[in-house]
């Protein structure tokens, strides 16, 4: 699995946030509701709790998507392994901090196919689903969904590191107004 998710254009600082990863962990490309500050962190004013999308929250709240880049595999004593790891394979563990992108209208981001339950198709729509951290895909967007995303183009992504010659397949996605 090579899960890659990152903004493709410059985004305002307020579109990027951090969450405390809940039990079960999260991976790049998972979606969460992040609207409550994590009260377990003393004097916290910037890190959110990550809630699983529900029918009510999908209708009323902007989704946030987990980005990759901070989820390097670590050895049991917390050190990074030797070599160049492929961070697209790893998950954020419960209690760790993960970066997120708030999915506001007109943002463009990359989402690899491994982040989705099925291969992305140009022209199809992605949206949150009740009780899941993964995006659903369909030919249209349900009326009960606030955040909707359109797959605009297929684009390979060079994995790099020790997998330098390999590519992941993915999608250029745009959040719809």
Q: Give pLDDT tens digits for 33-82.
A: 999 999 999 999 999 999 999 999 999 999 999 998 766 666 667 666 66
Name which of 29-38, 78-87, 98-107 the model is least confident about.
78-87
Whole-number pLDDT of residue 166: 79
Whole-number pLDDT of residue 50: 96
Q: Which of 6, 34, 28, 53 is nearest to 102 (CA)?
A: 34
Number of folded domains in the chain?
A: 1
Query: What's the CA gap between 108 and 176, in Å, rounded?
Result: 10
Query: What's the CA gap between 170 and 113, in Å, rounded?
Result: 5
- Paired with 1 in beta bridges are none
Whole-number pLDDT of residue 87: 62
Whole-number pLDDT of residue 168: 85
Whole-number pLDDT of residue 91: 85
Query: What's the CA gap between 124 and 29, in Å, rounded?
Result: 17
Q: What mean pLDDT is reported for the chain?
A: 90
Confidence of residue 88 (pLDDT cuts 50, 70, 90): low
Task: Write the pLDDT tens digit of every residue in 150-169.
Answer: 999 999 888 766 656 778 89
112 has pLDDT over 90: yes
121 has pLDDT over 90: yes
Stated as kind and residue range, the H or E segment containing 15 is none
Please give the residue range of the domain that contains residue 47.
Answer: 5-175
């Amino acid at each position: 699995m090579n899960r890659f998710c990152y903004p493709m254009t410059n985004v305002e600082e307020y579109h990027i946030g951090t969450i405390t990863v809940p039990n079960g962990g999260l991976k790049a490309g998972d979606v969460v509701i992040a609207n409550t500050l994590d009260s377990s962190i003393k004097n916290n004013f910037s890190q959110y709790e990550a809630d699983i999308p529900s029918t009510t929250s999908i209708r009323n709240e902007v989704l946030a998507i987990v980005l990759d880049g901070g989820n390097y595999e670590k050895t049991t004593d917390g050190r990074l392994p030797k070599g160049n790891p492929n961070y697209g394979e790893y998950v954020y563990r419960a209690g760790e901090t993960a970066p997120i992108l708030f999915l506001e209208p007109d943002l463009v981001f990359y989402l690899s196919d491994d982040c989705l339950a099925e291969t992305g198709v140009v022209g199809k729509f992605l949206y949150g689903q009740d009780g899941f951290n993964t995006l659903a895909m369909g030919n249209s967007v349900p009326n009960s969904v606030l955040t909707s995303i359109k797959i605009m183009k297929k684009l390979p992504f060079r994995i790099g590191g020790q997998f330098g010659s390999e590519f992941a397949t993915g999608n250029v996605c745009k959040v719809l107004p």
